[in-house]
A and B are shown apart, each in its own frame.
Chain A
Amino acid sequence: MTLTGMILKMSEGLGRTCAIFFLTLLFSLPLGLVVALLRMSKNRVVQAVTKVYISILRGTPLMLQLIAVAYGPFYLFGYTLLVKQKLLAIIIAFALNYAAYFAEIYRGGIESMPVGQYEAAHVLGYSKGQTFMRIILPQVVKRILPSVTNEVITLVKDTSMAFTLAYMEMFSIGKQIANSQSSFMPFVIAGGFYYLMNSVVAFAMSRCEKALGYYR
């Protein structure tokens, strides 16, 4: 198999790689905010449950979580995942995992907000929801953007974890080629693809940071 052949074959999996990437972000970013708010709840029980959730999802490998989501239903209810549902399992595992990380980033951002911002809004008659959505959250987003960029870059590389479930994204295809051709080249190509994708991510995120740079 030629180098070009390998690249072309592997690039067929890029759509799936991107699907994991974007769908994970789509679900984990809002879910992370919800988890962060629950984590900061005044209700001790809610707080404790959320702490356990975050601790487990951050404390165990994403790969194990993928396996748990994919095969857990079989061991629990004797239900075998359909091939079509592989992506679903991957997105559930990824979203739950990344939400835990994002939650802690949100929490850090929210807790770094000066109390004066809440008080100023409160005195002006803002409700709690209005204060959060209009005054606090926009400023939090700006503050946490660099940390979010880190996670997003990690996510690009983590999509390769889908090979655990033999989901044929770019890396899994590469691994297959590497095996059948006894070649190391697919891994080099995969590295190149990830680097390229992350260059785009880094560029996009720095544009976002610039866009939010109109105030300090």
Chain B
Amino acid sequence: MNILEIKHCRKSFDGVQVLSDISLTVSEGQVVSIIGPSGSGKSTLLRCATLLETMDGGSLAYLGKFAVRDEGGKSVYASHAELKQARACFGLVFQNFNLFPHYTVLKNITAAPLLIQKREKAEVLQTARDLLSKMGLADREDAYPYQLSGGQQQRVSIARALAMRPKILFFDEPTSALDPELTGEILKVIRALAAEHMTMVIVTHEMAFARDVSDHVIFMDGGVIVEQGNPKDIINNPSHERTIQFLSRFN
């Protein structure tokens, strides 16, 4: 079953084409990494997929249900209720965490399941505490975000996303705001999620990580997918000129 299906996505900002004809399919349990230089459109693609940005053309479907249809080359968004349904399918982990600073760690995780999903309090608390101990933060549930390191904050934000029980989890450069040591913490967590067959799409600059953790790697540049396929092939032996150039420092 395809969790996510993006077809012929187009997007431009003020006449500048940022994404042109991007298609991407993610099936259950798959881990897809998107790599590429800054300004290549990776983040915009992720923002289109998470409905934070509207696409100009193309379609978007979660679990086979359209959130965005393509009608004559133009994107048409589904109804408010249908978009809400689509939104319930995914979680997003931001580059700069975006935790709610006025909520404790625990409340950051439990607020949305209680308020939005109207789940039972005891169950939500249990879920949140399980997630926190999985993230190695069992003793920090009463802390406020400012009291945590960047790596801890990012782990809380991953827990916050997971508490919503998403079918697919997006990561937008989850380690770009972190130093190498803290980056390691986060990559470990994502690896653990991959081992549990969590479906994930990860925009990252960590090449070795992308190679090791993902089933599929996409290299983007200038708003198009330049090359994609098996992570080891793409990252160790890129075939396209631009990919070779981009990865030359890494290899």
Known pairs A124-B164, A126-B116; A139 contacts B101 (CB<8 A):
yes
Kindly list chain A residues whose C-beta atoms are within 8 Å of the C-beta of B164: 124-125
How many residues of A are counted as interface, with CB atoms below 8 angstroms from the partner's CB atoms?
20
Kindly list chain A residues whose C-beta atoms are within 8 Å of the C-beta of B50: 123
Dominant secondary structure of chain B at its interface with chain A: loop
Known pairs A120-B94, A215-B146, A216-B146; A125 contacts B100 (CB<8 A):
no
Is there a chain A Cβ closer than 8 Å to B121's Cβ? no
Kindly list chain B residues whose C-beta atoms are within 8 Å of the C-beta of A5: none
Assess whether B92 is in contact with A123, with CB atoms less than 8 Å apart: yes
Dominant secondary structure of chain A at its interface with chain B: helix
CB distance from B114 to the nearest CB of A (A): 11
Most buried by A among B87, B91, B98, B115: B98
Closest to B144 in A: A215
The stretch among A33-41, A89-97, A130-138 that forms the contact with chain B is A130-138
Is there a chain A Cβ closer than 8 Å to B145's Cβ? yes
Assess whether B144 is in contact with A119, with CB atoms less than 8 Å apart: no
Kindly list chain A residues whose C-beta atoms are within 8 Å of the C-beta of B160: 124
Kindly list chain A residues whose C-beta atoms are within 8 Å of the C-beta of B96: 116
Closest to A124 in B: B112
CB distance from A113 to the nearest CB of B (A): 11
Kindly list chain A residues whose C-beta atoms are within 8 Å of the C-beta of B94: 116, 119-120
* Complex partner residue of B112 from A114, A119, A125, A142, CB under 8 angstroms: A125
CB distance from A6 to the nearest CB of B (A): 48
Assess whether B146 is in contact with A120, with CB atoms less than 8 Å apart: no
Q: CA of A134 to CA of B98 in the docked complex: distance in angstroms?
A: 15
Known pairs A125-B84, A138-B102, A139-B101; A215 contacts B115 (CB<8 A):
no
- A-B pair count, CB < 8 Å, reads 55
Closest to A141 in B: B102
Is there a chain A Cβ closer than 8 Å to B195's Cβ? no
Known pairs A215-B144, A215-B145; A125 contacts B116 (CB<8 A):
yes
How many residues of B are counted as interface, with CB atoms below 8 angstroms from the partner's CB atoms?
26
Which residues of A93-121 have CB atoms within 8 Å of chain B's CB atoms?
Answer: 114, 116-117, 119-121
Assess whether B115 is in contact with A119, with CB atoms less than 8 Å apart: no
Closest to A139 in B: B102
Which residues of B80-124 have CB atoms within 8 Å of chain A's CB atoms?
Answer: 84, 87-88, 90-92, 94, 96, 98-102, 111-112, 115-117
Is there a chain A Cβ closer than 8 Å to B1's Cβ? no
Assess whether A122 is in contact with B52, with CB atoms less than 8 Å apart: yes
The 0/1 profile, CB within 8 Å of A marked 1, for residues 69-85 of chain B is 00000000000000010
Kindly list chain A residues whose C-beta atoms are within 8 Å of the C-beta of B101: 139, 215-216
Assess whether A135 is in contact with B100, with CB atoms less than 8 Å apart: yes
Q: CA of A117 to CA of B98 in the docked complex: distance in angstroms?
A: 6
The 0/1 profile, CB within 8 Å of A marked 1, for residues 138-149 of chain B is 000000111000
* Complex partner residue of A123 from B52, B99, B117, B145, CB under 8 angstroms: B52
Q: CA of A215 to CA of B101 in the docked complex: distance in angstroms?
A: 6
The 0/1 profile, CB within 8 Å of B marked 1, for residues 42-59 of chain A is 000000000000000000
Closest to B117 in A: A125
Which 7 residue pairs across A and B have the least CB separation, nearest first?
A120-B98, A116-B98, A124-B112, A125-B116, A216-B146, A215-B144, A123-B92
Query: Hey, which bits of chain B sit against chain A, CB under 8 A?
Result: 50-52, 84, 87-88, 90-92, 94, 96, 98-102, 111-112, 115-117, 144-146, 160, 164
